[in-house]
Chains A and B, each alone.
Chain A
Protein backbone atom coordinates (compact mmCIF):
# COMPACT_ATOMS: atom_id res chain seq x y z
CA UNK A 1 0.00 0.00 0.00
CA UNK A 2 2.78 2.44 -0.98
CA UNK A 3 0.76 5.22 -2.67
CA UNK A 4 3.12 8.11 -3.48
CA UNK A 5 6.77 7.54 -2.66
CA UNK A 6 9.40 10.29 -2.61
CA UNK A 7 13.14 10.06 -2.28
CA UNK A 8 15.26 11.26 -0.62
CA UNK A 9 13.48 12.21 2.59
CA UNK A 10 16.26 14.52 3.76
CA UNK A 11 19.02 16.26 1.81
CA UNK A 12 21.54 19.01 2.50
CA UNK A 13 23.03 20.76 -0.53
CA UNK A 14 25.61 23.43 -1.00
CA UNK A 15 24.72 26.50 -3.04
CA UNK A 16 25.21 25.76 -6.71
CA UNK A 17 24.92 21.98 -6.43
CA UNK A 18 22.33 20.09 -8.40
CA UNK A 19 20.03 17.30 -7.35
CA UNK A 20 16.91 15.42 -8.39
CA UNK A 21 13.94 14.54 -6.23
CA UNK A 22 12.31 11.33 -7.30
CA UNK A 23 8.61 10.53 -7.07
CA UNK A 24 6.67 7.42 -7.99
CA UNK A 25 3.03 6.45 -7.58
CA UNK A 26 1.54 2.99 -7.82
CA UNK A 27 -2.12 3.99 -8.20
CA UNK A 28 -2.14 4.31 -12.01
CA UNK A 29 -2.96 8.01 -11.72
CA UNK A 30 -2.86 10.28 -14.75
CA UNK A 31 -1.85 13.53 -13.07
CA UNK A 32 1.15 14.28 -10.89
CA UNK A 33 2.29 17.41 -9.07
CA UNK A 34 5.22 18.95 -7.22
CA UNK A 35 4.55 21.40 -4.39
CA UNK A 36 6.81 23.22 -1.98
CA UNK A 37 5.79 24.14 1.55
CA UNK A 38 7.21 27.12 3.39
CA UNK A 39 6.17 28.48 6.79
CA UNK A 40 3.23 30.87 6.56
CA UNK A 41 2.85 30.35 2.83
CA UNK A 42 1.00 27.09 2.59
CA UNK A 43 1.76 24.84 -0.34
CA UNK A 44 2.67 26.33 -3.70
CA UNK A 45 2.57 24.45 -6.97
CA UNK A 46 5.92 24.22 -8.75
CA UNK A 47 5.10 22.06 -11.77
CA UNK A 48 2.43 19.58 -12.72
CA UNK A 49 1.84 16.91 -15.30
CA UNK A 50 -1.78 16.48 -16.34
CA UNK A 51 -0.99 13.25 -18.15
CA UNK A 52 1.98 11.22 -19.30
CA UNK A 53 4.03 13.19 -21.80
CA UNK A 54 2.91 16.66 -20.67
CA UNK A 55 4.27 19.08 -18.09
CA UNK A 56 3.26 22.63 -17.20
CA UNK A 57 4.46 25.38 -14.91
CA UNK A 58 2.71 26.13 -11.67
CA UNK A 59 2.96 29.18 -9.43
CA UNK A 60 6.70 29.03 -8.62
CA UNK A 61 8.60 27.21 -11.41
CA UNK A 62 11.78 29.31 -11.51
CA UNK A 63 14.91 27.34 -10.67
CA UNK A 64 13.29 23.95 -11.24
CA UNK A 65 12.83 21.46 -14.04
CA UNK A 66 10.68 18.36 -14.19
CA UNK A 67 10.48 15.13 -16.14
CA UNK A 68 7.47 12.88 -16.45
CA UNK A 69 9.49 9.74 -17.09
CA UNK A 70 6.47 7.48 -17.51
CA UNK A 71 3.00 7.25 -16.02
CA UNK A 72 4.37 6.26 -12.62
CA UNK A 73 7.30 8.63 -12.17
CA UNK A 74 7.66 12.40 -12.00
CA UNK A 75 11.02 13.89 -11.00
CA UNK A 76 11.95 17.41 -9.90
CA UNK A 77 15.43 18.75 -10.61
CA UNK A 78 17.28 21.67 -9.08
CA UNK A 79 20.05 22.57 -11.53
CA UNK A 80 21.86 25.09 -9.32
CA UNK A 81 20.50 25.10 -5.79
CA UNK A 82 19.99 28.38 -3.95
CA UNK A 83 19.26 29.01 -0.25
CA UNK A 84 15.79 30.25 -1.28
CA UNK A 85 15.02 26.69 -2.33
CA UNK A 86 15.32 25.45 1.23
CA UNK A 87 11.88 23.98 1.74
CA UNK A 88 9.79 20.86 2.17
CA UNK A 89 8.83 19.36 -1.17
CA UNK A 90 5.72 17.26 -1.71
CA UNK A 91 4.86 15.10 -4.67
CA UNK A 92 1.19 14.29 -5.29
CA UNK A 93 -0.99 12.44 -7.76
CA UNK A 94 -4.63 12.18 -8.79
CA UNK A 95 -6.66 10.14 -11.23
CA UNK A 96 -9.08 12.63 -12.72
CA UNK A 97 -10.31 16.10 -11.76
CA UNK A 98 -12.47 15.94 -8.64
CA UNK A 99 -10.92 12.78 -7.34
CA UNK A 100 -8.78 12.72 -4.26
CA UNK A 101 -5.22 13.99 -4.56
CA UNK A 102 -2.75 11.84 -2.69
CA UNK A 103 0.44 13.27 -1.24
CA UNK A 104 3.80 11.73 -0.50
CA UNK A 105 5.48 12.05 2.88
CA UNK A 106 7.65 14.99 1.86
CA UNK A 107 11.32 15.68 1.19
CA UNK A 108 13.16 18.09 3.49
CA UNK A 109 15.77 20.03 1.51
CA UNK A 110 18.27 22.45 3.02
CA UNK A 111 20.56 24.56 0.84
CA UNK A 112 23.51 26.11 2.65
Chain B
Protein backbone atom coordinates (compact mmCIF):
# COMPACT_ATOMS: atom_id res chain seq x y z
CA UNK B 1 0.00 0.00 0.00
CA UNK B 2 1.10 3.51 -0.64
CA UNK B 3 1.71 6.04 2.10
CA UNK B 4 3.19 9.47 2.66
CA UNK B 5 4.97 10.89 5.69
CA UNK B 6 5.47 14.60 6.13
CA UNK B 7 8.02 15.43 8.80
CA UNK B 8 7.00 18.44 10.85
CA UNK B 9 3.39 19.49 11.13
CA UNK B 10 4.48 23.11 11.68
CA UNK B 11 7.45 24.89 10.11
CA UNK B 12 8.35 28.52 10.75
CA UNK B 13 10.85 30.51 8.68
CA UNK B 14 11.85 34.14 8.39
CA UNK B 15 10.99 36.08 5.27
CA UNK B 16 13.84 35.61 2.80
CA UNK B 17 15.03 32.35 4.36
CA UNK B 18 15.13 28.94 2.72
CA UNK B 19 11.94 26.89 2.85
CA UNK B 20 12.36 23.11 3.20
CA UNK B 21 9.32 20.89 3.67
CA UNK B 22 10.03 17.18 3.96
CA UNK B 23 8.10 14.34 2.37
CA UNK B 24 8.89 10.62 2.31
CA UNK B 25 6.76 8.10 0.51
CA UNK B 26 6.21 4.38 0.37
CA UNK B 27 5.08 2.70 -2.82
CA UNK B 28 5.43 -0.77 -4.30
CA UNK B 29 5.09 0.62 -7.82
CA UNK B 30 6.79 3.58 -9.51
CA UNK B 31 5.01 6.55 -7.99
CA UNK B 32 3.64 9.80 -9.18
CA UNK B 33 4.31 12.47 -6.56
CA UNK B 34 2.58 15.78 -5.94
CA UNK B 35 2.75 18.85 -3.76
CA UNK B 36 -0.42 20.84 -3.14
CA UNK B 37 -0.88 24.11 -1.29
CA UNK B 38 -3.99 25.13 0.63
CA UNK B 39 -4.67 28.70 1.69
CA UNK B 40 -7.14 29.29 4.54
CA UNK B 41 -10.73 28.32 3.71
CA UNK B 42 -9.84 27.38 0.17
CA UNK B 43 -9.42 24.23 -1.88
CA UNK B 44 -6.12 22.64 -2.83
CA UNK B 45 -3.98 24.01 -5.62
CA UNK B 46 -1.29 22.01 -7.38
CA UNK B 47 2.23 23.35 -6.84
CA UNK B 48 4.14 20.75 -8.82
CA UNK B 49 4.19 17.08 -9.73
CA UNK B 50 6.64 14.37 -10.68
CA UNK B 51 5.56 11.64 -13.08
CA UNK B 52 8.56 10.51 -15.11
CA UNK B 53 11.73 12.01 -16.53
CA UNK B 54 13.72 14.78 -14.86
CA UNK B 55 13.87 14.27 -11.12
CA UNK B 56 14.08 17.99 -10.30
CA UNK B 57 10.66 19.47 -10.80
CA UNK B 58 9.88 23.17 -10.85
CA UNK B 59 6.49 24.47 -9.87
CA UNK B 60 4.60 27.67 -9.38
CA UNK B 61 5.59 30.52 -7.05
CA UNK B 62 9.30 29.59 -7.13
CA UNK B 63 8.92 26.17 -5.51
CA UNK B 64 10.75 23.06 -6.64
CA UNK B 65 11.09 19.47 -5.48
CA UNK B 66 13.49 16.65 -6.19
CA UNK B 67 12.50 13.01 -6.54
CA UNK B 68 15.13 10.80 -4.89
CA UNK B 69 14.27 7.17 -5.41
CA UNK B 70 17.11 5.88 -3.24
CA UNK B 71 15.86 7.95 -0.31
CA UNK B 72 12.14 7.59 -1.17
CA UNK B 73 11.87 11.34 -0.73
CA UNK B 74 10.25 14.27 -2.50
CA UNK B 75 11.16 17.33 -0.44
CA UNK B 76 9.81 20.76 -1.35
CA UNK B 77 12.11 23.78 -1.36
CA UNK B 78 12.07 27.48 -2.11
CA UNK B 79 15.24 29.58 -1.87
CA UNK B 80 13.63 32.66 -0.35
CA UNK B 81 10.36 32.67 1.59
CA UNK B 82 7.74 35.33 1.05
CA UNK B 83 4.94 36.30 3.39
CA UNK B 84 2.44 35.07 0.82
CA UNK B 85 3.86 31.53 1.12
CA UNK B 86 2.19 31.08 4.50
CA UNK B 87 -0.22 28.20 3.96
CA UNK B 88 -0.61 24.47 4.51
CA UNK B 89 1.30 22.17 2.19
CA UNK B 90 0.38 18.60 1.37
CA UNK B 91 2.51 15.92 -0.23
CA UNK B 92 0.67 13.14 -2.07
CA UNK B 93 1.45 9.92 -3.94
CA UNK B 94 -0.47 7.93 -6.51
CA UNK B 95 0.09 4.91 -8.66
CA UNK B 96 2.42 5.63 -11.51
CA UNK B 97 2.50 4.41 -15.07
CA UNK B 98 -0.10 1.73 -15.67
CA UNK B 99 -2.14 2.66 -12.62
CA UNK B 100 -5.87 2.42 -13.15
CA UNK B 101 -6.75 5.59 -11.36
CA UNK B 102 -5.18 8.76 -10.13
CA UNK B 103 -6.44 8.50 -6.57
CA UNK B 104 -4.09 10.32 -4.28
CA UNK B 105 -2.85 9.30 -0.85
CA UNK B 106 -2.06 12.44 1.14
CA UNK B 107 0.30 13.23 3.96
CA UNK B 108 -1.01 14.94 7.06
CA UNK B 109 0.18 18.36 5.94
CA UNK B 110 2.76 20.93 7.02
CA UNK B 111 1.65 24.37 8.11
CA UNK B 112 4.20 26.94 6.99
CA UNK B 113 4.46 30.22 8.90
CA UNK B 114 6.59 33.06 7.55
CA UNK B 115 7.85 35.60 10.07
CA UNK B 116 8.60 39.18 9.01
* Pairs of residues from A and B, 4 with the lowest C-beta to C-beta distance, nearest first: A42-B106, A103-B43, A42-B108, A43-B106
Contact B102 A101 (CB under 8 A): yes
Per-position binary interface string of chain A over residues 1-45, scored 1 when its CB falls under 8 Å from any chain B CB and 0 otherwise: 000100000000000000000000000000101010000111111
Per-position binary interface string of chain B over residues 15-35, scored 1 when its CB falls under 8 Å from any chain A CB and 0 otherwise: 000000000000000001010
- Of A60-68, A69-77, A79-87, A89-97, the segment with at least 4 beta carbons within 8 Å of chain B is A89-97
Given A48-B101, A97-B102, A102-B46, 9 further pairs, Cβ under 8 A: A90-B44, A97-B32, A97-B100, A98-B32, A103-B36, A103-B45, A104-B43, A105-B42, A106-B42
Residues of B that sit less than 8 Å from A by CB: 9, 32, 34, 36, 41-46, 49, 51, 90, 94-97, 99-109
Q: Which of B9, B41, B101, B106 meets A31, CB within 8 Å?
A: B101
Q: Which of B43, B102, B106 meets A94, CB within 8 Å?
A: B102
Contact A42 B109 (CB under 8 A): yes
Contact B100 A50 (CB under 8 A): yes
Q: B residues within 8 A CB of A105?
A: 42-43
**In the bound complex, what is the Cα–Cα distance between A59 and B103 (angstroms)?**
11
Q: Which of B42, B45, B90 meets A43, CB within 8 Å?
A: B90
- Which of the listed residues A45, A94, A101 has the most CB atoms from chain B within 10 Å of its own CB? A101
**In the bound complex, what is the Cα–Cα distance between A97 and B108 (angstroms)?**
22
Contact A97 B90 (CB under 8 A): no
Q: Which of A44, A98, A100, A102 meets B106, CB within 8 Å?
A: A44
